């Protein structure tokens, strides 16, 4: 059963996946939302420009309409016949017939003007005394009233000093006596020579006339058209109930209730510029009473001090842009799926091989030198796997050779211990034999005078000493051969240890080459990083040039943004590769450190082996000295035999020979004790060599290779 792998959030593959996923989703979201809001802004700007053109045309129509009535009032002001008639009706000296004729001409003139224009509700000439009997009006309208509000409006006409004065649309007309709304223009027909003949001319225009002029002006689906006076009150609106009321939506220059509405207008987004027709664009966005965003366009009138204003909900124009939001959500979802696929591929191509290599290196750290990678690619990861395999093979070979060398050192030390034990036993036998020789010489000196038979026995003892010397000489030869073999083995061990040290140096050289490779990778990444920076700069320049190109460069702006996004992704990928290279370099440094720590141990091993070789050489030297002593002992025994042959001729020389023999045996005993001490030291050194070999063998067992 295949073991399920646990998700490692600290792995390089998972980090690459998270970075790539977040980058793609974030870029897609930012691009989609930016496109959505840019589309809303562009649509709003285009609608504002188009609506501004419509509002300008409607304002021109209103100005033309108002200019007609101003021109009509101007004709009345300069009409000499009308002026004479008005002076006549106000002249007490004029006859009744003349006054009646003048009044008739005035009424017929007013009726003719009223009848020639269906948009007019009525035309009046109101006396300054505000007396209805002294005033004149066209047929079909109510009489003159003189309440407080009407007098205030008349005072405004006085303040106009003969210039036209426009009054907002009132639901029941200027005198609040009609069943329909009307717009009124007032003008003082001045007469400097006869002030009593001055009249207020009131031209009352039906409110439906303004509706007809503005009927073709539409802003959005639920838009509304209003005319506002300088104080921000509604001078005209589709709902007569709003006439004279403060408008919640107005321009920044207007004042409502005597105070500047600067606090609310802080939230307005003003738009200014030049329309396609060359005129100024007056538009802004603000919220209505309910907080709903409204697109507002306005145009000041040239004739009256009013402003034609239209507004509609922004949502009426941006409904089509809302589809971009759904498209953005779909694109983000698709980008997330693509990021998942790409992230999975990256995890398989980069994260999984690196994780496997890390696990293999951990096993190698624990002593298993048989681990190998199965990377078959030729990229950096594949090369890293091949280098890891070659490194583990070299370390396995080195460990194997060191283990075999340790085994040989252990075997040689065991042989040396056995030979040293044999030498020690033989030295003890030599010491015992020399003691016996000394005792025999003493007894010979005591019994030389007593019996010739004892001389014969001494000859036998001399023969035994000669045999013993022969045995000791043979043992000394064996010890010298063993010392020669040990020295040769030590030389081989020194050569093998030096070979191991050379292999450690080779490992360090390979590690240095790997460090150089990581440096080469960094040098390769440096121009790629510079190239990405240059790509970002080129994409930014392309965006700037496309922005200068206007509408023709919008598609290229998107391409430049995509290029910048790809450059940013490449920069992030290069940064990830740099971090991976740094981790590889760190692992290589750890390997070099471990090898550097092992090298001194091998050096100390070589020093110990060389010391053992010197010990073998000293053993050989001591055995050569011992062999010389044995040869001297053999010579002394031969001389003793000659003395024994001459003993029959002269017993007097026996004492002298015995003394010489005693001296010789004492020297042999002294040398035998020295040989015994040397053999004991050789046994101790052999034990130390055996312990060192065993420690080396235990150290090499930690490697599985």
Among 197-201, 237-241, 447-451, the least confident range = 447-451
Average pLDDT over residues 606-632: 74
**Average pLDDT in the chain:** 77
Q: Which of 115-129, 337-351, 617-631 has the lowest mean pLDDT?
A: 617-631
Specify the higher pLDDT residue, 20 or 660: 20
Lowest-confidence pick of 149-153, 235-239, 567-571: 567-571
- Phi, psi at residue 192, to the nearest 5°? -65, -35
Answer for the pair 688, 353: CB distance below 8 angstroms, yes or no: no
Q: Report the relative pairing of strands 293-300 and 307-313 from DSSP bridges.
A: antiparallel
**Token pair 């100005």: residue:** 63
What integer pLDDT is reported at residue 276 of this predicted model?
A: 46
C-alpha 577/C-alpha 584 separation (Å) is: 10
Task: Please report the pLDDT score of residue 696 as a whole number.
Answer: 67
pLDDT for the residue 394: 80
Rounded CA gap, 106 and 609, in Å? 146
pLDDT, greater one: 124 or 402: 124
Q: Report yes or no: 121 and 180 within 8 Å, Cβ to Cβ.
A: yes
What is d(CA 325, CA 559) in angstroms, rounded to the nearest whole number?
A: 20
pLDDT value at residue 184: 93
pLDDT for residue 1 is more than 60:
no
Q: Say whether pLDDT at 203 is over 90.
A: yes
Average pLDDT in the 271-284 region?
57
Q: Compute φ and ψ for 228, nearest 5 degrees.
A: -115, 145
What is d(CA 80, CA 95) in angstroms, rounded to the nearest whole number? 20
- Eight-class DSSP state of 195: G
The arithmetic mean of pLDDT across residues 176-200, rounded, is 88
| Range among 146-150, 375-379, 380-384 with highest mean pLDDT value | 146-150
Distance CA 216, CA 654 (A): 167
pLDDT on residue 8? 60
pLDDT at position 185: 93
Query: What was the pLDDT predicted at 257?
Result: 45
- 41 CB neighbour count, 10 Å cutoff: 15
Token representation of residue 162: 């003969």
pLDDT confidence bin for 9, thresholds 50/70/90: low
Q: What percent of the chain has a predicted confidence (pLDDT) above 90?
A: 6
> In whole angstroms, what is the distance from residue 593 CA to residue 531 CA?
36
Does pLDDT of 86 surpass 50?
A: yes
639-694 pLDDT tens trace: 767 766 666 565 555 566 566 766 766 776 677 677 667 667 776 777 777 677 67
Residue 398 has pLDDT above 70, yes or no: yes
The proportion of the chain whose per-residue pLDDT surpasses 70, expressed as a percent, equals: 80
Query: Residue 552 pLDDT > 60, yes or no?
Result: yes
CA gap 413, 192 in Å, rounded: 148
The tens digit of pLDDT for each residue in 316-329 reads 777 777 777 788 88
**pTM attached to this predicted model:** 0.47
* CB distance 248 to 289 below 8 Å: yes
3-class SS of residue 232: coil
Mean pLDDT, residues 255-274: 44
Please compute the mean of the pLDDT values over residues 573-598 and round it to a whole number.
78
In whole angstroms, give the CA distance from residue 449 to residue 686: 51
Q: How far apart are CA 458 and CA 640, in angstroms?
A: 9
């Amino acid at each position: 059963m295949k073991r399920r792998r646990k998700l490692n959030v600290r792995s390089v593959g998972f980090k690459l996946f998270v970075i790539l996923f977040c980058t793609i989703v974030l870029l897609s979201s930012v691009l989609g939302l930016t496109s959505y809001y840019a589309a809303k802004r562009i649509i709003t700007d285009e609608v504002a420009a188009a609506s501004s053109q419509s509002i300008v045309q409607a304002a021109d129509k209103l100005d033309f309409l108002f200019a007609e009535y101003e021109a009509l009032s101007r004709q009345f002001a300069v009409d000499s016949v009308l002026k004479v008639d008005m002076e006549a009706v106000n002249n007490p000296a004029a006859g009744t017939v003349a006054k009646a004729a003048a009044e008739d001409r005035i009424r017929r003139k007013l009726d003719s003007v009223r009848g020639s224009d269906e948009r007019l509700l009525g035309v009046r000439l109101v006396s300054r005394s505000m007396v209805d009997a002294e005033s004149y009006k066209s047929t079909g309208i109510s009489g003159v009233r003189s309440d407080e509000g009407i007098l205030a409006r008349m005072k405004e006409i006085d303040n106009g000093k003969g210039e036209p004065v426009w009054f907002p649309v009132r639901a029941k007309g200027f005198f609040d006596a009609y069943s329909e709304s009307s717009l009124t223009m007032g003008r003082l027909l001045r007469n400097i020579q006869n002030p009593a003949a001055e009249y207020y001319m009131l031209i009352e225009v039906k409110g439906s006339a303004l509706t007809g002029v503005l009927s073709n002006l539409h802003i959005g689906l639920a838009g509304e058209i209003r005319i506002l006076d300088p104080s921000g009150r509604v001078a005209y609106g589709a709902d007569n109930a709003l006439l004279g009321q403060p408008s919640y939506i107005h321009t920044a220059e207007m004042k409502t209730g005597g105070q500047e509405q600067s606090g609310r207008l802080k939230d307005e987004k003003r738009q200014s510029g030049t329309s396609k027709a060359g005129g100024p664009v007056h538009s802004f966005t603000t919220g209505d009473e309910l907080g709903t965003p409204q697109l507002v366009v306005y145009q000041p009138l040239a004739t009256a001090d009013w402003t034609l204003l239209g507004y509609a909900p922004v949502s009426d124009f941006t409904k089509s842009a809302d589809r971009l939001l759904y498209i953005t959500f779909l694109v983000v979802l698709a980008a997330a799926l693509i990021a998942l696929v790409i992230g999975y591929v990256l995890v398989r191509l980069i994260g999984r091989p690196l994780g496997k290599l890390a696990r293999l290196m951990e096993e190698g750290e624990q002593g298993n030198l048989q681990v190998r990678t199965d990377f078959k690619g030729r990229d950096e990861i594949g090369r890293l796997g091949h280098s890891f395999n070659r490194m583990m093979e070299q370390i396995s070979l080195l460990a194997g050779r060191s283990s075999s060398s340790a085994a040989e050192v252990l075997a040689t030390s065991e042989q040396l211990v056995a030979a040293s034990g044999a030498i020690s036993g033989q030295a003890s036998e030599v010491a015992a034999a020399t003691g016996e020789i000394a005792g025999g010489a003493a007894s010979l000196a005591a019994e030389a005078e007593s019996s010739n038979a004892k001389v014969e026995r001494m000859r036998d003892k001399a023969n035994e000493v000669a045999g013993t010397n022969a045995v000791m000489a043979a043992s000394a030869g064996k010890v010298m051969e063993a010392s020669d073999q040990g020295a040769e083995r030590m030389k081989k061990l020194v050569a093998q240890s030096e070979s191991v040290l050379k292999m450690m140096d080779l490992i360090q050289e390979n590690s240095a080459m790997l460090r150089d490779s990581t440096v080469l990778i960094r040098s390769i990444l440096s121009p790629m990083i510079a190239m990405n920076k240059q790509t970002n700069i080129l994409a930014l320049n392309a965006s700037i040039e496309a922005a200068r190109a206007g509408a023709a460069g919008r598609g290229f702006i998107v391409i430049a943004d995509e290029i910048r996004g790809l450059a940013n992704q490449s920069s992030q990928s290069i940064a990830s590769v740099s971090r991976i290279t740094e981790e590889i370099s760190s692992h290589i440094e750890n390997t070099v450190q471990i090898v550097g720590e092992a090298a001194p141990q091998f050096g100390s091993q070589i020093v110990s082996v060389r010391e053992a070789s010197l010990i073998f050489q000293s053993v050989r030297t001591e055995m050569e000295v011992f062999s010389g002593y044995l040869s001297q002992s053999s010579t002394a025994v031969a001389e003793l035999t000659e003395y024994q042959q001459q003993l029959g001729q002269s017993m007097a020389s026996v004492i002298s020979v015995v003394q010489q023999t005693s001296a010789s045996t004492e020297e042999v005993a002294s040398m035998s004790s020295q040989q015994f001490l040397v053999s004991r030291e050789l046994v101790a050194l052999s034990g130390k060599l055996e312990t060192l070999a065993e420690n080396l063998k235990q150290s090499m067992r930690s490697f599985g290779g």
